[in-house]
Structure 1
Amino acid sequence: MEQNIGNKDVVEEPRAGISFSSVEEIRAYYTSYAKHVGFGVTKQSSKIGNNGKIRYFTLTCVHQGTSVSTTSNILKPRPMEHNECKAKIKAILGSEGEFCLTHVILEHNHALSPEKARYIRCHKRLDESSKRRLEYNDMAGIQLSNNYNSCVAEAGGYENLTFGERDARNYIREVRLLRLGLGGAETLQNYFTRMQS
């Protein structure tokens, strides 16, 4: 569904009647289209049949629904704004085992920004090669900001990177915790207590 014309990837617009072999293929296609246009994607609903397979499902714009803040702190409002956007696709499982788009709404009631789409959660992902690079550089003692900048340089710029510095920091923190192992955090705390006294 993606064509390469020159340097730009052109993503075909969703329309009713297009068939896909799996749920993952539809999600990848719609997410790619959403990134190209400039919005995020979330799953709204799905129905699982008696055989345990998905019978139909709906993917929508992340701005669907109404905004209800669940925070008790008025200084930290909810970061995502929901404004009842109607953009969505519905797919149903056919008799031959393929999913077919049955309902497609492409109109959004909010501004779209393709240049900022990479910051939306559904478009962020840390691939395996980047994970390895971050881990090896961390084990070598390279500061995280320099570690992240090496990934930026390899990708050819920030706009080509599929994750942000915060994602890299979170990943490195998880890796360090796993590296400490069971009881390692307690040992580290005891070390700091001894050093402080």
Structure 2
Amino acid sequence: MEERDNTPMLDLNVSLDETMLDNGLDCIPHCDAEKIDEHILYDNGDLVETSKDMTTDYIPKVGMLFESEDELYHFYNYYARRTGFSIRKGHFKRSSDGEIRKRVIYCSKEGFKQRHKRGTPQKERPVLRTGCMALIQVIAKDGMFAVTKFVEDHNHELVLAEEAHLLRSQKGILPQQARYRESLHSGGCGPTKAFSILSKEHDGPKNLNFTLTDCKNHFQKRRREIYKEGDAQVALNYF
């Protein structure tokens, strides 16, 4: 949900002291921002891997600085994976020049599902939202995004480590994995074989961010893209 902010600066009703922000980001402790860059690798904005297990370096703290929203999202998503929950982007504010000035990222179980006001009884579905208050909030100033609020506690059970890779915010085939998978296909491997090879190279399917079904769907999507480009014969040969 977007909120338009026409004032020069945000309403800083957050846990970071206003004086720290007014005096510039140099007053904010840089915490572990440099350590984050040392251990989390990116490829075109996508989290690729980390060079060590979760430590206190990867626990969000008020005052942490990020160069972009994407860097913040990938960091918090990595923390979420190691902790056992999924995330989603929440509300944000823009300044009068259209730039993002404030962003909140929630636990995916934030809030409650709204009931439809209909006369016909609706099919019961699993309760996915529990009103969880866990979140991270940043404000922008001087070209950086500073963490101004971090709520760590959840009001629901967290997912086991071996299942965390299947959480919604974690799923997806990374660009370099897609390229490698397509090179395997060029060598005669179908989606099942390609998935098997990728699983072995990552010490098991639990370490992949996608399932065999996701892999097959990716093949189908790529085939449709080739058809759309007008090369039907190449698309037929793709499988």
Aligned residues: 181
1:142 aligns with 2:228: no
Measured in 1, the distance between the counterparts of 2:168 and 2:139 equals 26
Task: Work out which of the residue numbers 45, 55, 63 in structure 1 matches 2:91.
Answer: 45
- After TM superposition, the structure 1 = structure 2 runs for residues 146-185 of structure 1, keeping only pairs within 5 Å, are 146-181=193-228, 182=230, 184=232
1:46-65: CA deviations, max 9, x gaps? Answer: 11112221000101000001
Q: What is the TM-score of this pair, normalised by structure 1?
A: 0.79
1:124 aligns with 2:156: no
Shift of 1:114: 4.2
Shift of 1:69: 6.4
Measured in 1, the distance between the counterparts of 2:195 and 2:181 equals 7
Matched-pair contact (CA < 8 Å) for 1:148–1:168: yes
Task: Work out which of the residue numbers 12, 37, 54 in structure 2 matches 1:9.
Answer: 54
Task: Work out which of the residue numbers 124, 128, 149 in structure 2 matches 1:81.
Answer: 128
Measured in 2, the distance between the counterparts of 1:69 and 1:169 equals 35
Shift of 1:184: 4.2
Flag structure 2 segments of 5+ consecutive residues without an equivalent. 1-31, 40-50
Which residue in 2 is equivalent to 1:194?
A: none
Q: Kindly tell me: are residues 183 and 132 of structure 1, through their superposed partners in 2, closer, same or farther at Cα, counting changes over 3 Å?
A: closer
Cα root mean square deviation, aligned: 2.8
1:6-37: CA deviations, max 9, x gaps? Answer: 96332532122222222122112111111111
Q: Kindly tell me: are residues 92 and 129 of structure 1, through their superposed partners in 2, closer, same or farther at Cα, counting changes over 3 Å?
A: closer
Task: Work out which of the residue numbers 29, 45, 64 in structure 1 matches 2:110.
Answer: 64
Q: Larger deviation: 129-138 or 160-169?
A: 129-138
Q: Larger deviation: 7-16 or 112-121?
A: 7-16
Measured in 2, the distance between the counterparts of 1:66 and 1:7 equals 36
Q: Kindly tell me: are residues 130 and 183 of structure 1, through their superposed partners in 2, closer, same or farther at Cα, counting changes over 3 Å?
A: closer
Give identity over the alignment, percent: 24
Measured in 2, the distance between the counterparts of 1:103 and 1:124 equals 26
Matched-pair contact (CA < 8 Å) for 1:35–1:114: no
Measured in 2, the distance between the counterparts of 1:112 and 1:47 equals 30
Matched residue SS, 2:197: helix
Measured in 2, the distance between the counterparts of 1:183 and 1:160 equals 35
